């Protein structure tokens, strides 16, 4: 079942096209987030992935960034600036999927409360899946299968959220509305946000452990005493006005059996980092340029088995067809229906009303709207007012309505 020995040792590498043979960036820059687009959106996506995942004091770099819990609940353990400096194990903030909670209420709220740790969500199973998703439910899930997420903002993104201008803040909805009265909410060009989905070993019948039996070609970590596999990564970057969207998965049929399934969301397409560039779930090899980039950065070797599903920067293609982009773990376990995944369309509905209310759904449609060019969002149902764009960042919507009261 493991994906053709997962090509981890590059034994299935074939001759690369000329476009993939460019030398990796100099050592001084591979771990610096890019400040301009590269030759293609796929190459840029990989540069972002690699730079954000460089090892830093025993962690991946993005694990040292600000997790969204620290915006929402700044008094949480590990959220103060110096809290993790002397900690043997830096605090982590695993939580449930906000997208699942939006799409599957009230069921998601109920399963969030029952799952552990930190309100993580139940996975999509035969017991809770919408009819359209049932054919894709993995057959190796335990009865209590759940998954956890983290969402991180890089320093430039976090600094903008905390203080977009002198005396201003976006750490609460009221502050966002106040700031928008004088300037649109527009993140700085270097801003990067990462969503990571973690699968605990206890969620699979063919269980694994981090020390002696990790899933082949999948990055794992022990977090609070539990072994987790990193099974889905979303990367979004403000290098483009409507952001660059990219999602990645490991080539492993045990943890990611639906990867690149065109009947679910879309096949995989990566002309820069994958040989061959397209796949419907078959294992591919990393291009020499991608392998060189990862080796230069010192990434854990398991990452050489991760593949870009695709990168997205527009709503529609040249023929005005909606562009799909979905992760077979992240979106599937959030309850997104087949062929209704589009990062850019979903995030375009991130809005706050001038009455300090987060957009409760996606545009005109409760649940998931048609993908492609966004529709017009109805006026806020509570409190009236008008919508203010949160610049594609659903993370801003988790903020409390008002500043915390002074003690």
Would 19 be classed as within a structural domain? no
Q: Cα angle at 80 between 74 and 81, to 5 degrees?
A: 130
Phi, psi of 394 (to 5 degrees): -65, -20
pLDDT at residue 111, rounded to an integer:
54
The C-alpha atoms of residue 285 and residue 262 are separated, in whole angstroms, by 20
Looking at residue 101, its pLDDT comes to: 81
CA 44, CA 50: separation in Å to the nearest integer? 10
> Measured between alpha carbons, how far is 73 from 75 in angstroms, rounded to an integer?
6
> Which of 317, 294, 389, 289 shows the shortest CA–CA distance to 348?
389
Please tell me the distance from the alpha carbon of residue 165 to that of residue 157, in angstroms, as a whole number.
Answer: 13
Judge residue 239's burial from the number of C-beta atoms within 10 Å of its C-beta, 0-12 exposed, 13-18 middle, 19 or more buried.
buried
Confirm whether 399 is domain-assigned. Answer: no
pLDDT at 384: 80
249: in domain: yes
- To the nearest 10 degrees (0 to 180), the angle between helices 288-297 and 41-52 is 20
Q: What are the residues facing 233 on neighbouring strands?
A: 196, 248
Does 112 reside within a domain? yes
Query: pTM of the entire structure?
Result: 0.89
Cβ-count burial of 122 within 10 angstroms (0-12 exposed, 13-18 middle, 19+ buried)?
A: buried
User: What's residue 153's pLDDT?
Assistant: 98
**Placement of tokens 């029952």 in the chain:** 114
How many other C-beta atoms lie within 10 A of the C-beta of residue 290? 29
Alpha helix positions (H), 62-118:
69-72, 98-103, 107-114
pLDDT at residue 380 in the model:
80
What is the Cα–Cα distance from 247 to 336, expressed in whole angstroms? Answer: 15
Is residue 370 in a domain?
A: no
pLDDT computed for residue 407 by the predictor: 53
Supply the range of the domain harboring residue 301: 3-14+37-81+90-152+191-339
Is 165 within the bounds of a domain? no
Instruction: Tell me the three-class secondary structure of 244-265, residue by residue.
Output: EEEEEEECCCCCCCCCCCCCCC
Is residue 380 situated within a structural domain? no
The pLDDT, as a whole number, for residue 119 is 74
Q: Is there a cis peptide before residue 400, judged by omega within 30 degrees of 0?
A: no
pLDDT of residue 22: 43
Per-residue pLDDT of the chain (407 residues; tens, 9 = 90+): 333 333 333 333 332 333 333 444 445 589 999 999 999 999 999 999 999 999 999 999 999 999 999 999 898 988 976 555 555 668 899 999 988 887 775 554 555 444 444 579 999 999 999 999 999 999 999 999 999 999 999 999 999 999 999 999 999 999 999 999 999 999 999 999 999 999 999 999 988 999 999 999 999 999 999 999 999 999 999 999 999 999 999 999 999 999 999 999 999 999 999 999 999 999 999 999 999 999 999 999 999 999 999 999 999 999 999 999 999 999 999 999 999 999 999 999 999 999 998 887 765 555 566 899 998 887 887 778 899 999 999 999 999 998 876 65
Task: Decide: helix, strand or coil at residue 48.
Answer: helix
Split into its structural domains, the chain has a count of 1
Let me know if residue 118 belongs to a domain. yes
């Amino acid at each position: 079942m493991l994906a053709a020995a997962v090509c981890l040792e590059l034994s299935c590498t074939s001759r690369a096209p000329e476009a993939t043979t460019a030398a990796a960036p100099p050592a001084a820059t591979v771990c610096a987030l890019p400040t301009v687009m590269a030759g293609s959106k796929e190459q840029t996506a990989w540069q972002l992935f690699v730079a954000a995942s460089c090892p830093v004091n025993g962690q991946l770099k993005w694990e040292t960034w600000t997790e969204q819990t620290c915006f929402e609940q700044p008094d949480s353990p590990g959220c103060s600036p110096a809290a993790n400096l002397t900690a043997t194990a830096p605090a982590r903030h695993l939580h449930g999927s906000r997208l699942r909670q939006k799409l599957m209420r009230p069921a998601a709220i109920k399963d969030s409360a029952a799952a552990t740790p930190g309100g993580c969500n139940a996975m999509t199973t035969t017991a809770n899946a919408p009819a359209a998703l049932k054919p894709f439910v993995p057959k190796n899930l335990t009865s209590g299968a759940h998954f956890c997420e983290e969402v991180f903002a890089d320093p430039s993104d976090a600094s903008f959220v905390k203080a977009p201008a002198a005396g201003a803040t976006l750490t609460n909805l009221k502050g966002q509305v106040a700031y928008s009265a004088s300037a649109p909410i527009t993140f700085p060009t270097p801003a990067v946000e990462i969503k990571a989905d973690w699968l605990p070993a206890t969620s699979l019948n063919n269980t694994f452990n981090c020390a002696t039996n990790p899933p082949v070609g999948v990055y794992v970590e022990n977090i609070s005493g539990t072994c987790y596999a990193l099974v889905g990564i979303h990367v979004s970057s403000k290098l483009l006005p409507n952001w660059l969207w990219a999602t990645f998965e490991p080539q492993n049929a045990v943890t990611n059996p639906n990867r690149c399934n065109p009947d679910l969301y879309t096949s995989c397409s990566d002309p820069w980092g994958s040989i061959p560039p397209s796949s419907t779930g078959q294992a591919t090899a990393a291009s020499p340029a991608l392998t060189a980039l990862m080796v230069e950065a010192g990434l854990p070797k398991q990452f050489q088995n991760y593949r870009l599903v695709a990168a997205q920067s527009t709503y529609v293609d040249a023929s005005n067809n909606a562009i799909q982009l979905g992760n077979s773990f992240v979106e599937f376990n959030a309850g997104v229906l087949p062929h209704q995944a589009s990062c850019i369309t979903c995030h375009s509905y991130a809005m706050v009303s001038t009455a300090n209310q987060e957009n409760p759904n996606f545009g005109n449609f409760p649940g998931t709207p048609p993908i492609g060019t966004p529709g017009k969002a109805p006026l806020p149902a509570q409190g009236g007012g008008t919508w203010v764009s949160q610049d594609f960042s659903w993370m801003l919507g988790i903020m409390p309505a008002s500043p915390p009261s002074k003690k």
